[in-house]
Structure 1
């Protein structure tokens, strides 16, 4: 009996991008730029807000072109790094699940 091949359609497996960049980053940067423009109501603020949004859109597109899930990688990097740069550790053990109970013998071999 031959195995049945089920095609995975591309439309159901796409990354969540908006205007070529990460959806949340593009929309949040547009919100910040719009808030800057409408709160100051000056020509200089409009120019700075549009420039800020175009630069952040370019960076979001560049990051999404490299890896569409770059935001998650960056957030994990920040979590590993800690609140300060001096909080780096030399070893991060692999965790299959947060509910795993490691025996004492396994923990002693990494110290």
Structure 2
């Protein structure tokens, strides 16, 4: 009689399903918002100085976002959750009690 459970079952996990969604090595939404603001700056002002400034701003900010993404790919979500917390939670017996 064969032993049940003598071999461990292997399941393949594809990395694409468990990795954070990144663009240029940084958080996707932040890169897109930065690009959109740079394009708006370039095409609204329509001067060569604004084009250079918008392009330089985009390059610098994407570089900073890449450093942030390398440190922690989920840093934006962690920070947004952090600022939603209160500074102090009072010990109360009921959630409906007034502070």
TM-score normalised by the chain length of structure 1:
0.70
Two-structure CA RMSD over aligned residues (Å): 2.5
Deviations 1:29-75 (A, max 9, x none): 00000000000000111111111111110111011101111110121
2:29 to 19, 24, 29: 24
Equivalent position SS for 1:30: helix
1:62 to 61, 64, 67: 67
Aligned to 2:43: 38
Distance change >3 Å, CA 53–CA 61, structure 1 → 2: same
Higher relative contact order (CA 8 A, sep 6+): 2
Separation in structure 2 between the aligned mates of residue 43 and residue 25 of structure 1, nearest angstrom: 25
Aligned to 1:99: none
Unaligned runs of 5+ in 1: 82-87, 94-103
TM-score normalised by the chain length of structure 2:
0.77
User: 1:5 Cα deviation (Å)?
Assistant: 2.3
Aligned length: 90
Unaligned runs of 5+ in 2: none
